[in-house]
Amino acid sequence: MGGIEVDWGLAAAIHPRSTRRRVQWLARALADPWFFADVARHSTLLARPVKLRRLAFCVVAARRTGIWIEGLFHSGRCAPGATVVLTFWLNHLTAGAGLARAGVPDMRLVARAHGADVYAERYVPPLIPLHGRAVAAADRVYVVSEAGRSHLSARYPDFRSRIEAAPLGSLDPGFAAQPSRDGIFRLLSCSSLLPLKRVDLLIMGLAELAKTRPDLRLQWDHIGDGELRCALERLAREELPTTINWRFHGRLEPNQVMSFYRDHPVDAFVSTSSSEGRPVSIMEAQSCSVPVIATAVGGVPEMVAPDDGVLLPPLPVPREVAVAIAAAADNPGFEAKRGASRQRWETTHDATKVGLEFARRIRSLLCDTEKVEFS
């Protein structure tokens, strides 16, 4: 098996680093029909200069991506009949990669799709730049959840046959997190601190729980950072009593997240997000034998069931969050969900298994399956 070559050329080509270059890119976008097509579909962009500049950047970056990828084939570094171009996000770079087909007709293009690159409704205005062009460009779009596949298929019915579900996976940590043995119920959440993650809902749910169950001793830890961190820490200080200990750990590297599970008792992982694909954070919790309490949004219902966790309504109120946590803390049988949670991971999200299946599906796109390269 050969080694892996990393080429940073595209990264340099699609990131203008000077004011002069950014102005040049904007001027170039203003003469591009792709730019005006998206503006025509979303005229409210005209009142949002930041979004307009973002679209301009995406259009030029897409064009440069096509040129760069075509160059890989013409230089002989990639063979058209034995190479799959894979983009990890279904975005403007996928649309740009499709442009390389003008010079490389036999090129195969595959795109991954998750949540932020599936649900345009997350944004104001509801636009993912060049999204439709990205779907049209790909030979296959592999969405991490069945819910995402259904959503994209409904949005782009002409390309329904190209859109398939293919879950991601996480690595086996090689250990099981331990439950608490000291009478404290320990919750862990892990997400960016952005509005759609609704960490404020979790805080208010914990505050409601403290009112109705002042006898319950709780520890809540959050891993992740973002624009709302200061506001959320302030809310926690104002709303959570001393019976609930809490801590924001900020952003941790993946190996540090696994170290947290190894070194600290964790009784349940909790998510109150308003939109998800299939979150890796839930996979990681399940791989460590931790039951999950989560809102039934996106692909989450495909990951969590009553035998291994708890599903909240998509739009829960704080009391519903409080009731779910209290039921988990009070139920002696909740600990039995730990083994079922691990089993769920082994069946659905073991990276070794799902990775091999994903590779098989990519190889099937090529006639010569013994000479596949990945770009």
What whole-number distance in Å separates Cα of residue 124 and Cα of residue 127?
7
pLDDT of 219 over the 80 cut: yes
Position 2 scores a pLDDT of: 56
Predicted confidence (pLDDT) at residue 211 exceeds the cutoff of 90: yes
Look at phi and psi of residue 76 and say left if phi exceeds 0, alpha if psi is from -120 to 50, else beta.
left
Domain 75-169+350-375 shares a fold with domain 185-349: yes
What integer best gives the mean pLDDT of the chain?
A: 94
Q: What Rg, from alpha-carbon coordinates, does the chain have? A: 23
Say what the pLDDT of residue 325 is.
97
Q: pTM for the full model? A: 0.90
pLDDT digits (tens, 9 = 90+) for 31-83: 999 999 999 999 999 899 999 999 999 999 999 999 999 999 999 999 888 89
* Residue-level pLDDT at 371: 40
Q: Are the CB atoms for 266 and 188 separated by under 8 Å? A: yes
**Domain 75-169+350-375 coded CATH 3.40.50.2000:** yes
* Residue 5 confidence (pLDDT): 79
Look at residue 17 and tell me whether its pLDDT is greater than 90: no
Q: What is the pLDDT of residue 1?
A: 46
Instruction: Give the per-residue pLDDT at 240.
Output: 97
Task: Please tell me the least confidently modeled range out of 8-12, 198-202, 259-263.
Answer: 8-12
At 373 the pLDDT is 44
Beta strands across the sheet bearing 140-143: 163-165, 140-143, 108-113, 83-87, 373-374
CA dist 310 and 320 (Å) reads: 12
pLDDT at position 6 = 82
> Does the N-terminal peptide bond of residue 125 adopt cis geometry, omega within 30 degrees of 0?
yes
CA distance 138 to 56: 22
Q: Report the SS3 class of residue 286.
A: helix
Q: Which CATH architecture has domain 185-349?
A: 3-Layer(aba) Sandwich (3.40)
101-134, pLDDT tens digit by residue? 999 999 999 999 999 999 999 998 999 999 999 9
Would you place residue 366 in the very low, low, confident or very high pLDDT band (cuts 50, 70, 90)? confident
**What pLDDT digit, counting tens, does each position of 256-306 carry?**
999 999 999 999 999 999 999 999 999 999 999 999 999 999 999 999 999
Question: How far are the Cα atoms of 14, 16, 205, 278 from residue 305, in angstroms, in the given order?
Answer: 42, 46, 21, 14
Q: Which two tokens stand for residue 277?
A: 């694909």
Instruction: Return the pLDDT at 4.
Output: 75
What percent of the chain stands above pLDDT 70? 97
Cβ-based burial of 303 (10 A; exposed 0-12, middle 13-18, buried ≥19): buried
Question: Which residue type occupies 363?
Answer: R
How confident is the model at residue 370, as a pLDDT? 40
Please state the domain extents for the chain: 9-56, 75-169+350-375, 185-349
Question: In degrees rounded to 5, what are phi and psi of residue 342?
Answer: -65, -40
Q: Are the CB atoms for 300 and 268 separated by under 8 Å?
A: no
Cα 1 to chain center, whole Å?
30
Distances 34 to 53, 120, 204, 349 between C-alpha atoms, Å: 14, 18, 44, 38
CA nearest 316: which of 260, 272, 265, 354?
272
